[in-house]
Amino acid sequence: MIEFEAEEDDSPGIPAWMATFADLMSLLMCFFVLLLSFSEMDVQKYKQVAGSMKDAFGVQNQVKVMDIPKGTSIIAQEFSPGKPQPTQIKTVNQFTTETTRASLQVGNPQAPKSDGAELDSETAKKLLEERFKAQIAKTRGDADKLRETLKYDIKAGKIDIESESSVITIRIRERGSFPSASSTLHPDFMPVMATLRDALKDIEGKISVEGHTDNIPITRGKFKSNWDLSSSRALSVTHELVKDNLLDDSRFVVVGHADTQPYRPNNSRQNRAQNRRVEIVIRQGLDEGTIANIKDLDATTVDTTFRK
């Protein structure tokens, strides 16, 4: 019997192919290092892209690298809380001053902290005064817009437009609008009412149509008193304004003042003619009385007052 002995591998060290593999990996690493060294990064473009991504995903907080990002809940679908508190600015930021807190507060960092606590009366009054000044500017702009639209009727002496504080008053004179001792609008005055109706579509605020008379008592005709006449004239103007459903009925209030609120003293024929009128009073936002009587308002009350 012939016996064969197994051939033993007496070569020391690693296999020969490992040297080739190591050389190849070294060359690849050098190649990518050279590519990286040749490349340039546009920092400005990178910041723009990063900012767009930040706004798209709703993350508006600047967190230091060493800090852990804060969130309302680890299982919430949105990053922001579902019920943020109203703020006086349109920008909503998430912020925290305590790194150990588990959630972010939503609101304006510079705004007074409420958290259910009451604002002091001075702070609340200051906020309302700022809103009131902005409202006055808006009311003046609306009044100028009405004057421009009705400039020919104002020049003809058919109506007057005044604005004071956050109130616009459109004064319809009796001459040309109503026959004497009548509550029926004159046909020639209908185009003026149509122009006024179209103009009021773009003017916000509650509308009070108020009738006024002079102090001469009514002794004949279908009206029993000046109360009856003033109320009927205000109602006729209101019916014409809400015609065709261009204006919302819920905005209107009809009032008859008779001779209790004269525009001029009833001591001459000319003054009495000016007292016979119908006024369309547009009240927008807050009034001076509300600002002067602010006491102990909390944040919720201030926000509710702003929305009126």
- Which domains does the chain carry? 124-289 (3.30.1330.60)
With a cut of 90, say whether residue 281 has pLDDT above it.
Answer: yes
With a cut of 80, say whether residue 82 has pLDDT above it.
Answer: no
Token look-up 């190849």 returns 24
Rounded to an integer, what distance in angstroms lies between the CA atom of residue 104 and that of residue 95? 6
Token look-up 């290092």 returns 33
Rounded to an integer, what distance in angstroms lies between the CA atom of residue 181 and that of residue 132? 41
Residue 15 or residue 68, greater confidence: 15
Please report the pLDDT score of residue 129 as a whole number: 80
CB-hemisphere CA count at 13 Å for 281?
A: 18
Please report the pLDDT score of residue 5 as a whole number: 53
Please report the pLDDT score of residue 172 as a whole number: 93
Residue 282 or residue 67, greater confidence: 282
Residue 42 or residue 178, greater confidence: 178
Residue 8 or residue 263, greater confidence: 263
Give one word for 115, left, alpha or beta, with left for phi > 0 and alpha for psi -120 to 50.
Answer: left
Distance in angstroms between the alpha carbons of the first and the last residue of the chain: 115
Choose from 50-54, 65-69, 164-168 the range with maximum mean pLDDT: 164-168
Rounded to an integer, what distance in angstroms lies between the CA atom of residue 183 and that of residue 206? 23
Choose from 60-64, 103-107, 126-130, 209-213 the range with maximum mean pLDDT: 209-213
Rounded to an integer, what distance in angstroms lies between the CA atom of residue 90 and that of residue 79? 18
pLDDT tens-digit series, residues 216-271: 998 877 889 999 999 999 999 999 999 888 899 899 999 999 999 999 999 999 99
Please report the pLDDT score of residue 8 as a whole number: 53
pTM for the model stands at 0.55
Range with the poorest average pLDDT among 41-55, 124-138, 251-265, 270-284: 41-55
pLDDT band with cut points at 50, 70 and 90 for residue 9: low
